[in-house]
Chains A and B, each alone.
Chain A
Amino acid sequence: DTGVSQNPRHKITKRGQNVTFRCDPISEHNRLYWYRQTLGQGPEFLTYFQNEAQLEKSRLLSDRFSAERPKGSFSTLEIQRTEQGDSAMYLCASSFEGQRDTQYFGPGTRLTVL
């Protein structure tokens, strides 16, 4: 297993466009998390899934953001009508419920909104 992967690694878009990011967790990990990190700050929790069920969403997750994990494996995070304030690193992490203390993070997708 090669760990959590995220695609794309970098995305530049114009304000108002929609973007979608993908996260492939470590196989057999049933929990998947999305975080956002801006420069100089620690990551901020956005949402998480157990299998295909979205169990918690942060207040930070506006209605322009939507996340899915349709088959309980990979997940997508879509941002509609992007704003310059959405520019950040979007991190995905996964964990196995039996060892949920440890989250394994991907390398992130860096979004730049012009």
Chain B
Amino acid sequence: DAKTTQPNSMESNEEEPVHLPCNHSTISGTDYIHWYRQLPSQGPEYVIHGLTSNVNNRMASLAIAEDRKSSTLILHRATLRDAAVYYCILRDVGDDKIIFGKGTRLHILP
């Protein structure tokens, strides 16, 4: 399975944008980039995914580098409820399971 590299932890101030980086230099052409997050004492929650183009939804934006070797999850205006572990995941188009890494623990400062 292709691997991703994320910082162990990050801090951000409430109501400011947050940029969560992810490196995936061994990504293959059929790997989708997925982001999930896990709030305290809850199961993981889908955030967003993309292949080549940048993606936006109501939760976040995903910016994908032109060479696809890195991506950034953008939370436009962080709230205290966004404090969670964020997982960047590569999933081949034919693969059903999710291989999680350790993710980035995001702390939001009031």
Contact = CB atoms under 8 A, between A and B. Distances in A.
Nearest to B42: A107
A29 B42 CA distance: 20
Interface residues of A, number: 24
B99 interface: yes
B91 interface: yes
Given A42-B87, A100-B96, A107 B102 contact: no
Contacts of B46: 102-104
Contact of B96 (A31, A35, A104): A31
Contacts of B99: 45
A93 interface: yes
Given A42-B102, A101-B91, A48 B42 contact: no
B49 interface: yes
A8 B101 CA distance: 26
Interface in A23-51: 31, 33, 35, 40-45, 48
B43 A45 contact: no
B43 A91 contact: yes
